C-alpha cells in the first residue's frame, strides 16, 4: 500500500479545478439557502446551463471565449427567471420540487439524441479548451512542488478557477453586509416582517436566485474547462453533493462553502485511495474495487444525515445565522 | 412561525437514525447471499461527478428498439490499429474495452439487427469516438421499426395510452404513499424512490433469482417493504420529530438516506439491468393494441389496491383518523387521536404500497439499482399535480403523468418523455398552484 501516493492524490484534490467548481456552486447555494432561505435543489441544472451555454457557442459558432462566458451568464439569468416566476410566491418546498425538476429537464434536454448535433447527445462535448489555453499567461514549463506540480495549462485553469472563487466570496461578503444583504437575510428570517416594511420581497428573492444561479453557471464553466462536458454528470446527485459540502462548511458563512468543498473532495479521494489500497494489498478481500467506490457514497449519505441532525450549522456556522425554518 | 415536525419534546438520541437505513443494507446483504454482482464490465450507469473511478477505458452503448433491448447486435470498434467487435447482451448493452485514450470509430453492423428493425438513420451508422479525459464513452445508435412495419398513428396512440394507464396506475401506488406521508407529517420524503427500488429488488431476488412462486415472493417483498416503512418512522423520523427538527432539515435527512440506501442497493445488486421473469408473457390484442397478460394483471392489481386504499381512508376508523391528522394534527390530537400511532400506520401503509409499485414497475420495465430514483420526480410531480397531501389527487396526478409520458413518445424522442411530465408540473404550478384536486388555500 503506497501511502505517499494516496496522500499525494488526496492533497492534489485540495486545489483541483473540480474542487474550485464545487466551491463556486456551493457559494451559489449559500446565497440561495444560507442568506435568502431559498431551497434550490437545481444547482446541477445551473451548472449544466453554464457548461453548455459556454461550450456550444464556441464549438457550433466559433464564438470567442468572452462570448461563451457571456452566453453562460445570460442563459443562467434566463433560467433563474423561468424558475423564479412560478415558484417564488409559493411555499419553499414548491421551489425545491420545481428546481429539482427543472434541473432534470435541462439534463434530459442536453442529452437527448434529437439534439446530438448541438449538444453531442449522451456522449457530451469536448475539444473546446484550446481558446482558453491560448490566453494562458504562464509560459510553458512545470510549476509547483510535491502534489501541487502542474504544467502551465493545469496551473492556468487552477489560478483562473480559484480566482473566481475568491472574487465570488468577496462579492458575496460585501453584498451581504450591504443594505441589500440585510433585506435578503431579513427575508430568510421573516418574510412577512420584511414585506410589512414595504420591501418587495419577490424582487429581492428573484435577485438572490439570479445571483446564486450565475455563480452556479460559472461553476459549470470551471468544472468543464479541464475536461469534456458529459451530461450524465449533471444529475440530481451532483446537487445533493454540493449541498453536503455547503452544510459541511456552514451555510451562511464566507469560508464555509470553500472549506466544505475542499474537505469533501479530499476525503472522497482519500477514502477511495485507502479502500483501493487495502483491496490491492489483500487486506480487504470481500469487496471489489468498484464496490469500494460505492462505499464512499454511502458514507456521504450517512454524513449528510448526521450533519443535518447534529450540526446543522456546519463547521463555521453560527446556529443563530442558520435557519432551516421556511 | 417556523414549520416544525410535529410534537417537539425532549432530546432523544438519533443514532438509531443511521441504524434504520443500515438495516436495509444488512437485510439486502443477507438476501443477496453475500454474492455481490460485479459491475466491472458494464458501463457505469451514472458517472459520478468527481470523475475517474475506473482505470479501464471502454466504449459501449445500449441498443434498444423502443424499450426492448436487442440482443446479438454487433458493433465494430476500430482505431490506432485496434479492431474489435462488441456484441449486445441480453440487456441490449455492448462494451468494448480499448487500450487507452485516442480516437476510435464505432460502426453498427446493420445486418446483425433482428428482422424488422433498422437504424433510425441508415446513412449514419458510424460514430467517431474520442476517449480523452473520460474513461467510458457511450455511443448511441437509435433504431426503430423502420419502414418494415407501418403503424397508423391512431393505433400507436392507443397502444401508448394503454401503456400509459398501466404506468400511471403503478405510479399512483407510490404517489399515494408520498401523499399520505406528506399529508400527516408535512415531510417531502426523498427516500421514496429507494423504497420503490427496494420492492422491485426484493421481488426480483425471491421471484426470479431464487425462483419462488409469485404467491410467495410477492408477500415477502411486501412484508419487507412494510418493514422499511416501520423502520424509517420508528428509528429515524419519530426521534427527529421528538427532537423538534425542522421540516427542511428532515427533508435533507431523507436526501442523505436516499443516497445511502441507493448505494447500498448498488453495492449488493451491481450496476446491471435485470429482467423479472413472471412467466406471464402471453399477449392479448385489445383492438389494435397488443399488451401482455402481465400488464393486464398489473393494472388489475393497481386498481384493486387503489380501491382498497380509498375504502380504508373513507370507511374505516383508522382511515378517518388519518384524514383527520392530515387536516389538522393538533385538533386530531385534542380529540383523542393518537397522532404518532396514525403516523406509524401511514408509514407502513405507504411503504407497502410503494413496494408494490416497485414490483409492478420492475415487471413493467426492468430492475436496476437507480430505477426508483429515476421516477422519484415523476412521483413528486404526480403528487404536486394532484394537490400536495391529497391521496385522491395523487391518483389523478399519477394517471396524467403516466399517460402523458407514454403518449408523448409518439411525437417526441423517447429520452425526453420524463422531461415532458416535469414541464407539465411546472405549468400546472403556474396556473393552479394547489394542484388539480387541491383545496383552494394560500400556499405562499
pLDDT the model gives residue B145: 46
Average of pLDDT values for A209-221?
A: 96
Residues near B262 by Cβ (< 8 Å), separated by ≥ 6? Answer: A297, A301, B193, B194, B197, B369, B370, B373
For the domain bounded by B154-431, which CATH number is listed?
1.10.3470
pLDDT the model gives residue A95: 83
Domain ranges of chain B: 39-148, 154-431
Determine the longest span between alpha carbons in chain B, in angstroms: 80
Q: Do B21 and A305 touch (CB under 8 A)?
A: yes
* Among A181, A293, A231, A204, CA closest to A49: A231
CATH of residue A247's domain is: 1.10.3470
**Chain centroid, CA B159 distance in Å:** 22
When pLDDT is cut at 50, 70 and 90, the band that residue B439 belongs to is low
Tell me how many domains chain A contains. 1
Nearest C-alpha of chain A: how many angstroms from B391?
Answer: 18
Spell out which residues of chain A touch residue B193, defining contact as CB-CB under 8 Å.
none
Nearest C-alpha of chain B: how many angstroms from A68?
Answer: 21
Q: Do B380 and A97 touch (CB under 8 A)?
A: yes
Spell out which residues of chain A touch residue B249, defining contact as CB-CB under 8 Å.
308-309, 312, 324
- pLDDT, tens digit (0-9, with 9 covering 90-100), for A129-166: 888 888 888 888 888 888 888 888 889 999 999 999 99
Nearest C-alpha of chain B: how many angstroms from A304?
Answer: 5
Q: Among all residues of chain A, which has the CA nearest to that of B434?
A: A90
Give the closest of A87, A109, A127 to B429, CB-based.
Answer: A87
Q: Do A123 and B188 touch (CB under 8 A)?
A: no
Query: How crowded is the C-beta side of B199, counted as CA atoms within 13 Å?
Result: 30
The parent domain of residue A243 ranges over: 3-140+150-323
Query: Which three three-digit cell numbers place residue A265?
Result: 473532495
Nearest C-alpha of chain A: how many angstroms from B328?
Answer: 18
pLDDT the model gives residue B121: 59
Give the closest of A226, A230, A308 to B256, CB-based.
Answer: A308
Nearest C-alpha of chain B: how many angstroms from A316?
Answer: 18
Q: What is the pTM of this model?
A: 0.79
The answer as to whether A145 is a domain residue is no
The answer as to whether A276 is a domain residue is yes
Give the closest of B243, B248, B425 to A324, CB-based.
Answer: B248
Q: Do A96 and B39 touch (CB under 8 A)?
A: no
Helix axis angle, B371-386 to B391-408, nearest 10°: 120
When pLDDT is cut at 50, 70 and 90, the band that residue B46 belongs to is very low
Can you tell me the ipTM of this complex?
0.89
- Among A114-118, A321-325, B365-369, the least confident range: A321-325
- Between the two ends of chain A, the Cα-to-Cα distance in Å is 49
Give the closest of B4, B25, B416 to A108, CB-based.
Answer: B416
Backbone φ/ψ region at A175: left (φ over 0), alpha (ψ -120 to 50), beta: alpha
The backbone torsions φ and ψ at residue A254, rounded to the nearest 5 degrees and listed phi first, read: -75, -45
- pLDDT, tens digit (0-9, with 9 covering 90-100), for B209-266: 998 888 999 999 999 999 999 999 999 999 999 988 888 889 999 999 999 999 999 9
The answer as to whether A174 is a domain residue is yes
Nearest C-alpha of chain B: how many angstroms from A160?
Answer: 19
Q: Do B256 and A302 touch (CB under 8 A)?
A: yes
Q: Do B416 and A297 touch (CB under 8 A)?
A: no
CB B159 within 8 A of CB B286: no
Nearest C-alpha of chain B: how many angstroms from A201?
Answer: 12
The backbone torsions φ and ψ at residue A229, rounded to the nearest 5 degrees and listed phi first, read: -90, 125
When pLDDT is cut at 50, 70 and 90, the band that residue B116 belongs to is low
* Residue B424 touches chain A, beta carbons under 8 Å: no
When pLDDT is cut at 50, 70 and 90, the band that residue B37 belongs to is very low
Query: Which three three-digit cell numbers place residue B232?
Result: 424509517
* Among A323, A271, A211, A249, CA closest to A22: A249
3 state SS of B154: helix
Q: Do A228 and B51 touch (CB under 8 A)?
A: no
Average of pLDDT values for B102-108?
A: 75
* Among B378, B326, B26, CA closest to B185: B326
Average of pLDDT values for B270-294?
A: 78
Fold of B39-148: Immunoglobulin-like (2.60.40)
- pLDDT, tens digit (0-9, with 9 covering 90-100), for B147-163: 334 467 777 888 888 88
CB B384 within 8 A of CB B429: yes
* Residue B431 touches chain A, beta carbons under 8 Å: no
pLDDT the model gives residue B365: 83
Give the closest of B46, B248, B423 to A39, CB-based.
Answer: B248
Q: Do A290 and B260 touch (CB under 8 A)?
A: no
Q: Do B433 and A90 touch (CB under 8 A)?
A: yes
The answer as to whether A13 is a domain residue is yes
3 state SS of B399: helix
When pLDDT is cut at 50, 70 and 90, the band that residue B64 belongs to is confident
Q: Do B14 and A309 touch (CB under 8 A)?
A: yes
pLDDT the model gives residue B45: 41
Amino acid at each position: 500500500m503506497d501511502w505517499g501516493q494516496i496522500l499525494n492524490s488526496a492533497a492534489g484534490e485540495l486545489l483541483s479545478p473540480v474542487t474550485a467548481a464545487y466551491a463556486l456552486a456551493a457559494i451559489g447555494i449559500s446565497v440561495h439557502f444560507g442568506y435568502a432561505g431559498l431551497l434550490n435543489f437545481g444547482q446541477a441544472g445551473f451548472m449544466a446551463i453554464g457548461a453548455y451555454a459556454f461550450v456550444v457557442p464556441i464549438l457550433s459558432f466559433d464564438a470567442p471565449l468572452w462570448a461563451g462566458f457571456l452566453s453562460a451568464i445570460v442563459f443562467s439569468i434566463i433560467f433563474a427567471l423561468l424558475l423564479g416566476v412560478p415558484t417564488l410566491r409559493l411555499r419553499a418546498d414548491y421551489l425545491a420540487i420545481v428546481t429539482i425538476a427543472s434541473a432534470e429537464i435541462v439534463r434530459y434536454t442536453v442529452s437527448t439524441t434529437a439534439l446530438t448535433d448541438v449538444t453531442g447527445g449522451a456522449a457530451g462535448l469536448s475539444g473546446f479548451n484550446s481558446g482558453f489555453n491560448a490566453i494562458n499567461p504562464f509560459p510553458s514549463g512545470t510549476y509547483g512542488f510535491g502534489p501541487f506540480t502542474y504544467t502551465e495549462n493545469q496551473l492556468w485553469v487552477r489560478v483562473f478557477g480559484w480566482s473566481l472563487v475568491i472574487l465570488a466570496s468577496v462579492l458575496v461578503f460585501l453584498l451581504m453586509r450591504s443594505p441589500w444583504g440585510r433585506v435578503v437575510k431579513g427575508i430568510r428570517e421573516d418574510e412577512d416582517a420584511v414585506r410589512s416594511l414595504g420591501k418587495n420581497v419577490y424582487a429581492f428573492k428573484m435577485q438572490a436566485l439570479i445571483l446564486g444561479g450565475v455563480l452556479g453557471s460559472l461553476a459549470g464553466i470551471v468544472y468543464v474547462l479541464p475536461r469534456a462536458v458529459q451530461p450524465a454528470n449533471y444529475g440530481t446527485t451532483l446537487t445533493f453533493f454540493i449541498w453536503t459540502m455547503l452544510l459541511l462548511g456552514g451555510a451562511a458563512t464566507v469560508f464555509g462553502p470553500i472549506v466544505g468543498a475542499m474537505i469533501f473532495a479530499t476525503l472522497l479521494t482519500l477514502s477511495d485511495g485507502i479502500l483501493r489500497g487495502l483491496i490491492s494489498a489483500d487486506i480487504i478481500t470481500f469487496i471489489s474495487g468498484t464496490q469500494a467506490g460505492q462505499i464512499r457514497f454511502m458514507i456521504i449519505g450517512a454524513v449528510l444525515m448526521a450533519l443535518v441532525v447534529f450540526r446543522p450549522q456546519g463547521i463555521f456556522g453560527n446556529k443563530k445565522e442558520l435557519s432551516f425554518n421556511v | 412561525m417556523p414549520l416544525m415536525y410535529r410534537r417537539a419534546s425532549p432530546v432523544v438520541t438519533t443514532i438509531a437514525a443511521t441504524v434504520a437505513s443500515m438495516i436495509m443494507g444488512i437485510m439486502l446483504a443477507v438476501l443477496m447471499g453475500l454474492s455481490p454482482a460485479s459491475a466491472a464490465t458494464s458501463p457505469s450507469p451514472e458517472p459520478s461527478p468527481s470523475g475517474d473511478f475506473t482505470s479501464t477505458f471502454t466504449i459501449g452503448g445500449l441498443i434498444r428498439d423502443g424499450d426492448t433491448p436487442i440482443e446479438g447486435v454487433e458493433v465494430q470498434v476500430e482505431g490506432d490499429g485496434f479492431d474489435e467487435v462488441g456484441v449486445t447482451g441480453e440487456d441490449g448493452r455492448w462494451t468494448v474495452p480499448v487500450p487507452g485514450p485516442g480516437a476510435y470509430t464505432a460502426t453498427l453492423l446493420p445486418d446483425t439487427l433482428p428482422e424488422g428493425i433498422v437504424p433510425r438513420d441508415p446513412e449514419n451508422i458510424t460514430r467517431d469516438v474520442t476517449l480523452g479525459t473520460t474513461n467510458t464513452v457511450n455511443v448511441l445508435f437509435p433504431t426503430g421499426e423502420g419502414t418494415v412495419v407501418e403503424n397508423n398513428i391512431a393505433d400507436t396512440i392507443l397502444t401508448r395510452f394503454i401503456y400509459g394507464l398501466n404506468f400511471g396506475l403503478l405510479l399512483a401506488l407510490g404517489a399515494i404513499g408520498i401523499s399520505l406521508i406528506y399529508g400527516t407529517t408535512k415531510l417531502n420524503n426523498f427516500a421514496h424512490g429507494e423504497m420503490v427500488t427496494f420492492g422491485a429488488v426484493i421481488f426480483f431476488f425471491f421471484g426470479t433469482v431464487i425462483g419462488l412462486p409469485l404467491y410467495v415472493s410477492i408477500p415477502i417483498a411486501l412484508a419487507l417493504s412494510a418493514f422499511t416503512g416501520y423502520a424509517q418512522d420508528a428509528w429515524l423520523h419519530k426521534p427527529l420529530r421528538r427532537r423538534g427538527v425542522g421540516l427542511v432539515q428532515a427533508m435533507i435527512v431523507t436526501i442523505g438516506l436516499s443516497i445511502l440506501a441507493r448505494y447500498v442497493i448498488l453495492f449488493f445488486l451491481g450496476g446491471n439491468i435485470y429482467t423479472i421473469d413472471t412467466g406471464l408473457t402471453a399477449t392479448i390484442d385489445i383492438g389494435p393494441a397488443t399488451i401482455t397478460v402481465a400488464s393486464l394483471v398489473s393494472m388489475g392489481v393497481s386498481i384493486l389496491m387503489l380501491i382498497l386504499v380509498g375504502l380504508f381512508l373513507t370507511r374505516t376508523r383508522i382511515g378517518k383518523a388519518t384524514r383527520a391528522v392530515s387536516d389538522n394534527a393538533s385538533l386530531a390530537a385534542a380529540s383523542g387521536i393518537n397522532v404518532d400511532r396514525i403516523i406509524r400506520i401511514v408509514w407502513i401503509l405507504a411503504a407497502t404500497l410503494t413496494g408494490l409499485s416497485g414490483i409492478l414497475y420492475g415487471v413493467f420495465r426492468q430492475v436496476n439499482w437507480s430505477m426508483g430514483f429515476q421516477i422519484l420526480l415523476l412521483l413528486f410531480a404526480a403528487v404536486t399535480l394532484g394537490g400536495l397531501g391529497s391521496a385522491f389527487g395523487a391518483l389523478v396526478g399519477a394517471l396524467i403523468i403516466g399517460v402523458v409520458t407514454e403518449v408523448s413518445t409518439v411525437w417526441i424522442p423517447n429520452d425526453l418523455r420524463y422531461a415532458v411530465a416535469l414541464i407539465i408540473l411546472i405549468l400546472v404550478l403556474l396556473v393552479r398552484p394547489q394542484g388539480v384536486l387541491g383545496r383552494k388555500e394560500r400556499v405562499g
